[in-house]
Amino acid sequence: DRNKFAKDIPGPKSYPIIGCAHLFVGSEERTFRVVCELFRKYTGMFRLPLGPKTIVCLSDPELIQQALTTSACQNKAFFYRFLEMDYGLVSAQYDDWKQYRKMLNPAFNQRILVSFISIFSRCSDTMVERMGREEGHERPLDALHYTAQCTLEMVCASSLKSDITNDPHANVVCHSLEKIAAIISSRVFNVLLYSDLFFALTERYREMQRQRVKLKAVMDPILFKRREEINQQRLVKIVEDEENYRKPMVFLDQLLNMQRNGQDLAMEEIENHLYTIIGAGSETTANQVAYILWLLAMHPEVQERVYSEIQSVYDADKQDISYETLSAQSYLEQVIKETLRLFPVGPLIGRETIEPMKLGNVSIPAGVTILINILNLHRRKDLWGDRADQFDPDRFDPSTYDAHKSQPYTYIPFGGGPRNCIGYRYAMLAMKVMVTKVVGSYQLSTSLTLNDPLKLSFAVTLKLGAGHLISIKRR
């Protein structure tokens, strides 16, 4: 029996064939709540058979560290296949991934990231201006609506060298990404939708195809245009110049110049990488900044400290943002870190064992799915204290913060091990610029509190059903 290894691992009651599938009926919100309750109940490791799959869930930081750092566990879990981006960095299997990551790492080097700060700044100014149109309105605005368009523009301008600021279709892309993410995630705990054949018969599948068509209609022209330009450059042999060839390039250029055995990558591979970076780069950052603004609106005293730091770092009339000024905003960094702890926008990640391995004292065979709940890990009272559910940026005061030193895997908002987030430094810079621009311009408030029903759910990113509702007043 394939599942014999799991017989001594604790877990909820399961039934033949369906396993624990009966636990996950109802809304997405309910499903996510049940998942989180299980992770709270079993503090080490538990098994979760779901139809044909046995999932081993990890709550303990030591076990999480083992899983994320051992090479025998570096394939992605079966549900990443639902993304239908098999060649992209997020879902590629280990052997392919090693090559891709090596070739794409240079597109995230320090020099390139610093050169993006002016793009982040320009896109954030546009966001602030758009928000301003809502000022004085009775009803609060949903911060995500604004951050989503902004981060999409940032990713296109930085990684794709393409300006979509006034593209009327930009909002369509944000909407499509969100819809696709929700459909993909709805398959993760729904055994009936594991089979691609069965899924293809559903309305969700047809909706996903419709959204993909919309997405491609906006993104394909960007891709084809840039490919044409790069082919032209090649013709005039610029790329063959040794120095140019070695210079790190932005993501899309790196991709279009990548060669394997003297051949360009296949179009399907390039598209998978492109859509992966757009999805992984824009949706995540947009949601995270929406959480930051919403928490600042909820905690005026924290917001005032962020604002006085902005005043002490920047001239009164112009916010000339540079790498140095951003580095000087250490309190803002604490606020971002604390938001990443309480509301990590990539809450559930999964791996699959490539070879047999030991997790603690349990022998796990090859082909087993491992599931990690980052949200639950970040809110464990035994690791973070009784006030783990409260927002307290002082927790990350560098002079006192030591949780990380004793066990770095108690805090993993960007994942961990070799397959951690390739864009985490990009994200930190982009978030700092966005928050600086908004808080520098507006005073934020909200009537919501962390005790209200927040209706969290999982749609690749961590969704807030209540909405990131805030009111703004010009400073």
Binding of ligand HEM at residue 55 (CB under 6 A)? no
Picking from 107, 387, 137, the residue whose alpha carbon sits closest to that of residue 254 is: 107
Question: Sign of torsion, CA 456 458 464 465?
Answer: negative
- Residue closer to ligand HEM by CB (options 76, 305) is 76
Q: What minimum distance in Å lies between the beta carbon of 312 and ligand HEM?
A: 25
* Least distance to ligand HEM, CB of residue 1, Å: 29
Q: Cβ distance 184 to 202 under 8 Å?
A: no
User: What minimum distance in Å lies between the beta carbon of 343 and ligand HEM?
Assistant: 9
Q: How many CB atoms lie within 10 A of CB 6?
A: 23
Residue 57 interacts with ligand HEM (CB under 6 A): yes or no:
no
Residue 291 is a binding residue for ligand HEM (CB under 6 A): no
Number of Cβ atoms within 10 Å of the Cβ of 435? 23
Helix (H) or strand (E) holding 275: helix 267-278
- Report residue 470: phi and psi, to 5°: -140, 155
CA distance linking residue 189 with residue 27, whole number of Å: 11
Nearest to 104 by CA among 354, 324, 280, 347: 280
Position 436 contacts ligand HEM (CB under 6 A): no
For residue 152, how far is the Cα from the chain centroid? Answer: 13
Q: What does DSSP assign to residue 77?
A: P
- Give least dist CB 427 to ligand HEM, A: 4
Q: Of these, 54, 70, 288, 457, which contacts ligand HEM (CB under 6 A)?
A: 288
Q: Does 277 bind ligand HEM (CB under 6 A)?
A: yes
Nearer to ligand HEM by C-beta: 374 or 448? 374
Exposure string over 276-300, b if 16+ CB within 10 A, otherwise e: bbbbbbbbbbbbbbbbbbbbbbbbe
280 is an interface residue for ligand HEM by CB under 6 A: yes
Contact between residue 473 and residue 445 where contact means Cβ atoms under 8 Å apart: yes
Contacts with ligand HEM, 30-49, as mask; x by CB under 6 A: --------------------
Tell which residue, 167, 239, 179, 225, has the closest CA to residue 204.
Answer: 179
In this chain, which stretch among 132-140, 185-193, 358-366, 411-419 interacts with ligand HEM, using CB under 6 A?
Answer: 411-419
CB of 346 to ligand HEM, least distance (A): 3
Of 78-97, binders to ligand HEM (CB under 6 A) are 89-90
The least distance separating ligand HEM from the CB of residue 199, rounded to whole angstroms, comes to 21
If one asks whether residue 415 binds ligand HEM (CB under 6 A), the answer comes out as yes
Q: For residues 147 and 132, what is the distance between their CA atoms, to the nearest angstrom?
A: 13
Tell me: does residue 346 bind ligand HEM (CB under 6 A): yes
Considering only 281, 329, 377, 396, the residue that binds ligand HEM (CB under 6 A) is 281
User: Among residues 120, 409, 426, 458, which is the contact residue for ligand HEM, using CB under 6 A?
Assistant: 426
Centre a 10 Å sphere on the Cβ of residue 408 and count the other Cβ atoms it contains.
12
Interface with ligand HEM includes 414 (CB under 6 A)?
A: yes
**Residue 257 DSSP SS3:** helix
R_g (Cα) of the chain, nearest Å:
22
Do the beta carbons of residue 426 and residue 113 sit within 8 Å?
A: yes
Per-residue tokens: 439: 């808080």
Minimum distance, C-beta of residue 247 to ligand HEM, in the bound complex (Å): 20
What number of residues does the chain have?
A: 475
Find residue 369's DSSP bridge partners.
Answer: 55, 352
d(CA 412, CA 159) in angstroms, rounded, equals: 25
Instruction: Give me the residue whose beta carbon is nearest to ligand HEM.
Output: 423
Q: Which DSSP category does 282 fall into?
A: I
Query: Which amino acid appears at position 449 of this protein?
Result: T
Using the contact rule CB under 6 A, the part of the chain among 142-150, 185-193, 258-266, 275-283 near ligand HEM is: 275-283
Annotation-wise, does 156 bind a ligand?
no
Contact between 292 and ligand HEM per CB under 6 A = no
x/- mask, ligand HEM, residues 102-131, rule CB under 6 A, reads ------------------------------
Identity of the residue numbered 95 = D
* Residue 209: Cβ within 10 Å count: 11
Q: Is 254 in the site for ligand HEM (CB under 6 A)?
A: no
Question: Residue 46 or residue 426: which is nearer to ligand HEM going by CB?
Answer: 426
Q: How far is the CB of 89 from ligand HEM (least distance, A)?
A: 4
Q: Which of 124, 149, 284, 369 binds ligand HEM (CB under 6 A)?
A: 284
CB of 338 to ligand HEM, least distance (A): 13
Asked if 423 touches ligand HEM (CB under 6 A), the answer is yes
Q: Give the nearest distance from C-beta 154 to ligand HEM in angstroms.
A: 8
| Known binding positions for heme | 421
Residues that bind ligand HEM (CB under 6 A): 89-90, 101, 276-277, 280-281, 284-285, 288, 344-346, 349, 413-415, 419, 421-423, 426-427
| Known binding positions | 421
